[in-house]
Amino acid sequence: METIVKADAEQASRLVADLIAAQVRGKADSVLGLATGGTPVQTYRQLIEMNRSGQVDLSGVTSFNLDEYIGLDGDHPQSFRAFMNEQLFDHVNIDPARTFVPDGCAADVAAHCAKYESMIESAGGIDLQLLGLGHNGHIAFNEPGSPRDSRTRQVDLTPETIEKNARFFDAIDDVPCHAITMGIATILDARQIVLLATGAGKADAVAAMLQGPIDESHPASLLRNHDHVTVVLDQDAAGGLR
Ligand code: F6R
C-alpha cells in the first residue's frame, strides 16, 4: 500500500484525477469503479476539465458505482445515479449506456445484486476502483462488521452514516436506512484501488485504516490485504498518523 500526502484537498484530488487519467490512457476500455459523496467532487471536476481539453478520452470506459440508496430511483435528486450524472457523466464523453449504478428500486434486490456482480465480471473486472472513506471506517456502504468475503448486497446504514449523509437531504428523516453496496470482496477484486480522504474529520479513520489492526470492525483496514492500493490524503486527513 502506498500513501501519498499532498498539501491540500485540491492537490490530492488532482493527483487522483491524474491516476484515473493515466489508467484510461493506458487502456482505453478501462473499467472504473466510482464513488459518490463529497470527497470525489473535485476529482470529477478535474476529470471533466481534462476530458474537455482533450487530455483524457472517456469514450471507451465502462463504470460501475459502489452503491445506491434503497428506495430512490435514478431520477431522485439525492440518488447516487443523479449525483453521478450531475457531477461527472453529463459533462464528459463517457457512453451513458456503459455507466452502471445499482438500482435502488429493483423489485428483487437479491437478484439485482447478483446480476451487478456478474455484470462486473462480464466487463472484465474493475481496473481501478476509486474509494472515499467513512468516518467509521466504512468503504462503500460496508459498515463496521461487514464480512471480508461480502459481495454486492442490501445493507442497513448505521445511525452515524445516516446522520453524516443528512447534509445531502432536506431532513434526516428523508435519508434512506438501507442501501445496495458492492461488498468488501467485490472491492478487493479490483486490480487497482485508489482511496482519497481529505479533511481533519477523516484523520482518526485514516490512522485506524493504516496503523490499526486489520479487522472487519474497521472495513478500510482490510484494504491492506490488497497489493495495489494508493491512499491519497491531504495534510489534514494525515494528521492522526504516527
Ligand atoms: C460513496 C461511498 C461512501 C463514501 C464515504 C465518504 O459512494 O460509498 O463510502 O465514500 O461515506 O463520504 P464523503 O466523501 O461524503 O465524506
Q: What is the pLDDT of residues 51-81, one digit of tens each?
A: 999 999 999 999 999 999 999 999 999 999 9
Range 122-131 average pLDDT: 99
What angle do helix axes 80-87 and 41-52 make, rounded to 10 degrees?
A: 40
Q: Which domains does the chain have, with CATH numbers?
A: 2-234 (3.40.50.1360)
Strands 67-69 and 178-181, by their bridges, are: antiparallel
CB of 36 shorter than 6 A to ligand 1: yes
- In ligand 1, the atom with minimum distance to the C-alpha of 140 is 8
Identify the residue whose C-alpha is closest to ligand 1 atom 2.
Answer: 140
The reported pLDDT for the residue numbered 160 is 94
Q: pLDDT category, 192, cuts 50, 70, 90?
A: very high
Range 184-209 average pLDDT: 98
Q: pLDDT category, 7, cuts 50, 70, 90?
A: very high
Q: pLDDT category, 49, cuts 50, 70, 90?
A: very high
Residue entry with cell 485508489: 194
Residue 29: partners with Cβ closer than 8 Å, 6 or more residues away: 60, 61, 62
CB of 67 shorter than 6 A to ligand 1: yes
Range 178-195 average pLDDT: 98
CB of 81 shorter than 6 A to ligand 1: no
The reported pLDDT for the residue numbered 191 is 98
- Output b/e per residue, 183-202; b: 16+ Cβ within 10 A: bbbbbbbbbbbbbbbbeeeb
| pTM of the entire predicted model | 0.98
CB of 35 shorter than 6 A to ligand 1: yes
- In ligand 1, the atom with minimum distance to the C-alpha of 40 is 14
- The residues with which 8 forms a beta bridge, in sequence order, are none
Average pLDDT, the chain: 98
Interatomic CA distance for residues 2 and 173, integer angstroms: 39
The reported pLDDT for the residue numbered 186 is 98
Identify the residue whose C-alpha is closest to ligand 1 atom 11.
Answer: 134
The reported pLDDT for the residue numbered 177 is 97
- In ligand 1, the atom with minimum distance to the C-alpha of 181 is 8
E strands present in the chain: 2-6, 31-34, 62-65, 67-69, 99-100, 128-131, 153-156, 178-181, 192-197, 229-234
Q: pLDDT category, 242, cuts 50, 70, 90?
A: very high
The reported pLDDT for the residue numbered 85 is 98
- Indicate the top mutation candidate among 34, 36, 182, 209 to test ligand 1's pocket, ranked by most ligand atoms within 8 A of CB: 36
CB of 102 shorter than 6 A to ligand 1: no
Q: pLDDT category, 88, cuts 50, 70, 90?
A: very high
Distance 203 CA to ligand 1 centre (A): 15
C-alpha cell at 230: 494508493
Strand ordering across the sheet containing 31-34: 2-6, 229-234, 192-197, 128-131, 31-34, 62-65, 99-100
Q: pLDDT category, 121, cuts 50, 70, 90?
A: very high
The reported pLDDT for the residue numbered 56 is 98
CB of 19 shorter than 6 A to ligand 1: no
The reported pLDDT for the residue numbered 32 is 99
Q: pLDDT category, 109, cuts 50, 70, 90?
A: very high
Classify burial at 35, counting beta carbons within 10 Å of its beta carbon; exposed 0-12, middle 13-18, buried 19 or more.
buried
Strand ordering across the sheet containing 67-69: 67-69, 178-181, 153-156
- Catalytic site positions: 67, 136, 138, 143
Interatomic CA distance for residues 149 and 164, integer angstroms: 26
CB of 219 shorter than 6 A to ligand 1: no
- The residues with which 196 forms a beta bridge, in sequence order, are 232
The reported pLDDT for the residue numbered 37 is 97
C-alpha cell at 222: 482490510
Euclidean distance between the first and final Cα of the chain, in Å?
Answer: 16
Interatomic CA distance for residues 138 and 170, integer angstroms: 24
